[in-house]
Structure 1
Amino acid sequence: MRMHMLLIFIVVGVVPLSIFSYVILSTYENKAVNNKRLELQGQGNILSNIIFPTGYLTTSEVNATDHSRIDDEVNRLAEIYNGRIIIVNNNLNIVKDTYGFDEGKYLISEEVIRCLNGSKPWFHDRKSNYIKLTYPITNNNTKEIVGAIVMNFSTREIQTVRLSLEQRAVMFALTLAILIIVFAIYFSRKLTKPLTSVVNSIDRLTEGYLEEEVSIKGFYEIEKISDSFNHMISRMQKLESSRQEFVSNVSHELKTPITSIKVLADSLLMQEDTPVELYREFLVDITDEIERENKIINDLLSLVKLDKTAGDMNISSININELLEQILKRLRPIAKNRNIEMIYESFRPVIADIDEVKLSLAISNLIENAIKYNIEDGWIRVSLNADHKYFFIKVSDSGIGIPEDAQDYIFERFYRVDKARSRESGGTGLGLAITKNVIQMHRGAIKVYSKEGEGTTFNVRIPLNYIV
């Protein structure tokens, strides 16, 4: 990660600077060359206006004074711009060459011919550092082109300035690159050091040291990672504690009925000529213990089965009203034994795509819990409603309630609020975990609202149409 951050800093810092420097230098060069061209074209226009009226292009017509004046002007201009000027008439005959090499000769070139046809060709040779520009000499009265001025001037001073700017840009880029690298090394080390601490803590966590926490000071995001990691450790500690407690409780719960059955059976075997009534009494006790054992095993098997078949949903269109009535009909006798009133409210007919067996198990768990943890002569209210997208089931009771600090954990596996009361009522801490698992398999949600001594309300929301 540190190397990646270093490369990113270099790319983000140096590459844009290099591109920017190149663009600036190229823009400068193009601008300078273009200004030079426009300046030379202006000088060419001045020469053209001087040359034609004097008859300079036809040596037989020009007087010596005019000829000398134009020669001086052409030589002065060539000297100022440190270049060469050649004047050609329309017969391609060289009338003037500031170098004095080709006067009287003919200049046959593409640029001159194009110029005599009305254009003003020019080009910049970057390799040789010169500009070549051809400017027409025009008869101002007839607009006829009677000759051409060929100007060759050096651009070495432009390249010298560009080279100087380029050297400064390179020095600046190298300095900035060094600063970026130093900053990147420092910053990447500062940023990755806390992450290294997190990695070390994860390794310690993998080795089983759940009691250690991470305390990292630095950037806000790093501190958030530290807080989240500590929160995860805390949850894992609670989960591990619950798991260990569950294993202990289940071992005890499974062992106790077996021990009771063995004691009862041994008692019968040790007695001779035992009365039938005593046999019946002992067998009833044995049956109760077997039923208790069976419930624990069934809860465990239900949870395991849900985990293994989470993707196997037998979805069909079910009348939810009838489903709830069937569940309540089955559980009313249990509630009646404690004189608990069960109220069912249905606000509208509801047809939804669900797995009937799984959802029946989830809702049954909620209502059974409302019965188990209710008060004598209490009440349970079950309501059903729906909108265009979801149906809602609410299970409220007048029971003992759930402590506020336990409400975040009641859906965790193996968690039991009141362990002694749960054992007395046959609870294993799996019912609500099974319920939440089923509801989530239906793409739904469940929330709990409770206050100790006043009762509990579970709100279930499930889509009418099952979404794969």
Structure 2
Amino acid sequence: MKKKINIQFMAVSALAVIITAITSMILFYNIFQNQVFDDIRAYDHVIQPLKQSFWDLPENRERLEEDGLRITLIAENGKVVYDTAVDVETMENHKNRPEIQEAMEEGEGTSVRWSSTSSLHTLYYAEKLENGQILRVGKDSENIFRIMINTVSIALVLSVLIVVLCVLLSHVLTKRLLLPIEKLASNLDGVNQDNIYDEIKPFIQTIKEQHINILNSAKMRQEFTANVSHELKTPLTAISGYAELIGSGMADEKDTKRFAEEIHHGSDRLLTLINDIIKLSELDCEDLEFDFEQVDLYVAAQSCLDMMDVQASKQDVTLSLKGEHCTVVANRNLMDELLYNLCSNAVRYNNRGGSVTVTVKPINGKVMLSVKDTGIGIPKEHQERVFERFYRVDKSRSKQSGGTGLGLAIVKHIVAQHNAEITLESEQGKGTEIKILF
């Protein structure tokens, strides 16, 4: 990753330097060309008053040649009348030359082209005189190109230096950029966020939070595994013990019947526990998708209370349903599971002669499900933890009543699957009410 970022930095830097150098050279050439044209125009204005005999003086011809200047006088018909560099008899008609045509039409003209006469690129400035002739001054580009070559050389050296500097800077910046991320691999808590870029602080924080969540998740799973092992061990030990007594013939007929009932009770507890664990595993699976449909909560609650009637009668608990028919988009099986766990807990932890009231009604465009009992209640210090797996307020009563300690954990997961809200209100000795808002 570091190598890739370095290469990308260097490529961007090199491209920027090349583009800058080329653009600068083009701008420099245009500026220099305009400056040369301005100089030639000034020469032309100085030369115009001078007579041809002045140009023919040997010392003046030598000076013009040294300065790279060439003076040409062209008649209206394009015939070359005079030239300081070449014999006019050997020169072709100049009427079609761009600078001559432009000067005839607009009074002055310029052009840059390869001169077959001087074998150089030449910059020309032509001006129409009052007598109709065209006075043209040319300047050979030999000096210009020499300057351009020198400039290019300097630009290339500077470009190389800049690229080398960019390579060094990219190495330093890449190292500084990736240093906090590299530290995360060895020590998540050792990253000092004061020395990193503000832009990657959210990324570092997210990684830390994910790491904490993973650790918490691992800890929860470890605790869950230990709790499952413990919960399974107790009934299995009892079943194994009773079975061993029966198998050894040490138990009489009366004890055998009692032991068989205990084995049956332990088996039921094991099945209930295993079913709850399977259900929690399904709810924990992120890839598992549930089918949602229109579910009448009032009808589902009535079915649940009908199923709980026998269990409630054994504990002398009265069941009642209030409210009205309300439809929610939900998974029907999960709704049945949620109602069963809430109502089962309400009956299991109730007092004899107590009651359980289930209410379904609309509230502010939402649907509220309430399960209220007149049972033993939950102390305040335990209310925040009752939705944890295997957490029991009264462990002895929970086991005697057949509770697995997973019912409310399953309820919490089902509520989360439906993006609902759950609240708990309880007072010790007076009962508990759990509300779910869909």
Q: TM-score, normalised by structure 1?
A: 0.69
Stretch moving more, 432-441 or 358-367: 432-441
Q: Give the C-alpha shift of residue 356 in structure 1.
A: 1.2
Q: Give the C-alpha shift of residue 255 in structure 1.
A: 0.7
Contact preservation (8 Å) 1:345, 1:382: yes
Residue aligning to 1:289: 266
Contact preservation (8 Å) 1:320, 1:352: yes
Contact preservation (8 Å) 1:401, 1:456: no
Residue aligning to 1:227: 208
Residue aligning to 2:190: 215
Residue aligning to 2:298: 321
Residue aligning to 1:363: 339
- Seen in structure 2, the aligned counterparts of structure 1 residues 339 and 225 have a Cα distance that, compared at 3 Å, is same
Residue aligning to 1:351: 327
Q: Give the C-alpha shift of residue 4 in structure 1.
A: 1.9
2:68 equivalent to 1:82:
yes
Aligned equivalents of 2:327 and 2:367: distance in 1?
Answer: 9
Contact preservation (8 Å) 2:80, 2:92: yes
Q: Give the C-alpha shift of residue 405 in structure 1.
A: 10
Q: Give the C-alpha shift of residue 217 in structure 1.
A: 3.0
2:229 equivalent to 1:258:
no
**Structure 2 residue runs without a partner (length 5+):** none
Per-residue CA deviation, residues 267-299 of structure 1 (Å, 9 max, x unaligned), is 98742xx47xx7765554444333222212322
Residue aligning to 1:118: 105
- Seen in structure 2, the aligned counterparts of structure 1 residues 85 and 318 have a Cα distance that, compared at 3 Å, is same
Aligned equivalents of 1:452 and 1:162: distance in 2?
Answer: 93
Contact preservation (8 Å) 1:242, 1:415: no
Contact preservation (8 Å) 1:254, 1:296: no
Contact preservation (8 Å) 2:371, 2:435: yes
Contact preservation (8 Å) 1:374, 1:400: no
Stretch moving more, 78-87 or 122-131: 122-131
Residue aligning to 1:428: 404
Residue aligning to 1:30: 30
Aligned equivalents of 2:280 and 2:214: distance in 1?
Answer: 25
Residue aligning to 1:58: none
Q: Give the C-alpha shift of residue 88 in structure 1.
A: 0.8
Q: Give the C-alpha shift of residue 148 in structure 1.
A: 2.9
Contact preservation (8 Å) 2:40, 2:125: no
Name the amino acid aligned to 1:111: P
Q: Give the C-alpha shift of residue 375 in structure 1.
A: 7.3
Per-residue CA deviation, residues 315-363 of structure 1 (Å, 9 max, x unaligned), is 43322222233334444665676677777564x6432343212221123
- Seen in structure 2, the aligned counterparts of structure 1 residues 12 and 115 have a Cα distance that, compared at 3 Å, is closer
Contact preservation (8 Å) 2:43, 2:137: no
- Secondary structure of the 1:300 match is helix
Name the amino acid aligned to 1:431: G
Residue aligning to 2:40: 40
Q: Give the C-alpha shift of residue 89 in structure 1.
A: 0.5
- Secondary structure of the 2:105 match is coil
Residue aligning to 1:55: none
- Secondary structure of the 2:190 match is coil
User: For 2:87, which of 101, 122, 134 is the aligned residue?
Assistant: 101
Aligned equivalents of 2:103 and 2:336: distance in 1?
Answer: 100
- Seen in structure 2, the aligned counterparts of structure 1 residues 236 and 293 have a Cα distance that, compared at 3 Å, is closer
- Seen in structure 2, the aligned counterparts of structure 1 residues 199 and 455 have a Cα distance that, compared at 3 Å, is farther
Name the amino acid aligned to 1:358: L
Q: TM-score, normalised by structure 2?
A: 0.73
Aligned equivalents of 1:262 and 1:385: distance in 2?
Answer: 53
Instruction: Map 1:369-380; keep pairs closer than 5 Å.
Output: 369-372=345-348
- Seen in structure 2, the aligned counterparts of structure 1 residues 99 and 157 have a Cα distance that, compared at 3 Å, is closer
Name the amino acid aligned to 2:69: G
Aligned equivalents of 1:113 and 1:452: distance in 2?
Answer: 108
Contact preservation (8 Å) 2:242, 2:259: no
Contact preservation (8 Å) 2:79, 2:93: yes
Stretch moving more, 324-333 or 26-35: 324-333
Aligned equivalents of 2:363 and 2:147: distance in 1?
Answer: 80
Q: Give the C-alpha shift of residue 423 in structure 1.
A: 4.0
Stretch moving more, 189-198 or 31-40: 189-198
Contact preservation (8 Å) 1:359, 1:439: no
- Secondary structure of the 2:27 match is helix
Name the amino acid aligned to 1:241: Q
Q: Give the C-alpha shift of residue 90 in structure 1.
A: 1.8
RMSD between superposed Cα atoms in Å:
4.7
- Seen in structure 2, the aligned counterparts of structure 1 residues 26 and 310 have a Cα distance that, compared at 3 Å, is closer
Name the amino acid aligned to 1:258: I
Name the amino acid aligned to 1:184: S
Residues paired across the two proteins, number: 420
Per-residue CA deviation, residues 358-384 of structure 1 (Å, 9 max, x unaligned), is 221123324434555567858766454
Per-residue CA deviation, residues 3-34 of structure 1 (Å, 9 max, x unaligned), is 12222332344432332233223212222213
- Secondary structure of the 2:124 match is strand
- Secondary structure of the 1:428 match is coil
- Seen in structure 2, the aligned counterparts of structure 1 residues 105 and 302 have a Cα distance that, compared at 3 Å, is closer
- Seen in structure 2, the aligned counterparts of structure 1 residues 452 and 228 have a Cα distance that, compared at 3 Å, is farther
Per-residue CA deviation, residues 52-88 of structure 1 (Å, 9 max, x unaligned), is xxxxxxxxxxxxx85446878x979956963212111
Residue aligning to 2:4: 4
Contact preservation (8 Å) 2:383, 2:424: no
Q: Give the C-alpha shift of residue 263 in structure 1.
A: 5.9
Contact preservation (8 Å) 2:356, 2:371: no
Aligned equivalents of 1:261 and 1:338: distance in 2?
Answer: 27
Aligned equivalents of 1:2 and 1:289: distance in 2?
Answer: 61
Aligned equivalents of 1:445 and 1:126: distance in 2?
Answer: 84
Identity %: 16
Instruction: Map 1:395-414; keep pairs closer than 5 Å.
Output: 399-400=377-378, 403=381, 407=385, 410=387, 414=389
2:419 equivalent to 1:444:
yes
Per-residue CA deviation, residues 384-414 of structure 1 (Å, 9 max, x unaligned), is 43666x645455667315757965x945xx5
Aligned equivalents of 2:241 and 2:114: distance in 1?
Answer: 105
Name the amino acid aligned to 2:275: N
